[in-house]
Amino acid sequence: MAGKAPLGPVSTARQVPRWSELREVVQFRRPRLGRTARRLEHALTVRDLRAAARRTTPRAVFDYVDGAAEEEITAARNVAAYRRVTFLPDALRSVADPDPGVELFGSRIAMPLVFAPTGYTRMMHHHGEAGVAAVAEHVGVPYALSTVGSTSIEDVRAAAPRGELWFQLFFTADPAVNEDLLARAEAAGYSTVLLTVDTTVSGMRYRDVVNGLTIPPTLTARTVLNMSRFPVWWFNKLTTGGMTFASLTGVPGNPTPGEVASMMFDPGLDLTSLDWLRKRWRGNLLVKGVTTPASAREAVEHGADGVVVSNHGGRQLDRSAATLDVLPAIRAAVGQQATVLIDGGVLHGQDVVAARALGADAVMIGRAYLYGLMAGGRDGVLRTYEILAEEYQRSMQLLGVRRSEDLSERHVAFTPHGAGDYPNVSV
């Protein structure tokens, strides 16, 4: 104000800081020994693990995980759908002592998450399916082994002797093969079968064709040259046994890789196959690869305990709907008694929150943990889980929700895109 004298200089007493005082305000991080440990410590998100995987894995292998069918539109839609979720938090709710666990098929699991089945897993890292199963057992969630896994049914059980193991069945045209696989899964104590129904024919994945990762492989000179830039990956592959479809090496006929491909993609798969499987398998039975309410209802009517809302991560039929978009309608179609899981596009703990709130009992992750596996083997898979679990619990609490069971539609605003109503999507 006019007439006021200006402020004088600030007088502050200074002293030489003592180390004990400095130590209270400056905490130095203890360096981690080992390149892999440092790489994983610096990964704060699944996307960070993806970036690390790209740096540590041959391009053909990374593309096999990262890629999808045709123009990869469906894969992008899966991810984009979760970005259309708006959270609506409850205020003034205690979230002390949070409980992220859920009941799934009568068992309590640590959070609503299942490690999904993936093929060729030992190609990504020599720890392979055994490493993933061991992590799942350690953290307390199920792991599903693929028919075309690179570790056998029995060896996965040995790696996770007390784990909750599921088996994904590619229903083949050979009844003896189907019976052999189911009998072995039964003998090894697998609790749940996932009948995959979206692979009547193989999707066209251009990245794999270009890189030569077909069945059987037809590697190009460029692919081999790129792989040579990753000597650690090569060393581990050459010293830990050959790549095979491990659960199929001992089945009747001992099929070649090319014959395995023909077996996996059976255009004759129909409801009679599901009827036979329901009579044969006494455990839990889910139909994986359902994206419409009518198909979900039909699967349950034919004896399935539930469905996995899945478009194979966009790796089969491109331009199909994002799984999150169809989840609420599928839940309404099958009712509350059926089990409903969802996969595709789950890369963040908030995606798990959204899926749970919109009707899923749990999510399945595939690419997410494979990024971790490529970045750091078994420890990378564990880091994937830690990231998602921390994101999930934190987001649940910030929503004003203490227990997973209390998440509901009132916590989200979500408008699914209708058929033909998708924006242009680029990958």
Q: How many other β-carbons are positioned within 10 Å of the β-carbon of residue 101?
A: 16
Long-range pairs for 45-50: beta carbons < 8 A, 24 or more residues apart: 45/348, 45/387, 46/347, 46/348, 46/368, 46/371, 46/372, 46/384, 46/387, 46/388, 47/347, 49/368, 49/371, 49/372, 49/375, 49/380, 49/383, 49/384, 49/387, 50/371
Kindly state the tokens that stand for 167: 């088996």
CA gap 396, 389 in Å, rounded: 10
CA gap 109, 179 in Å, rounded: 29
Catalytic residues: 312
Query: If 0-12 CB within 10 Å is exposed, 13-18 middle and 19+ buried, where does residue 7 land?
Result: exposed
Q: How many other β-carbons are positioned within 10 Å of the β-carbon of residue 247?
A: 25
CA gap 68, 331 in Å, rounded: 26
Kindly state the tokens that stand for 290: 């359902």
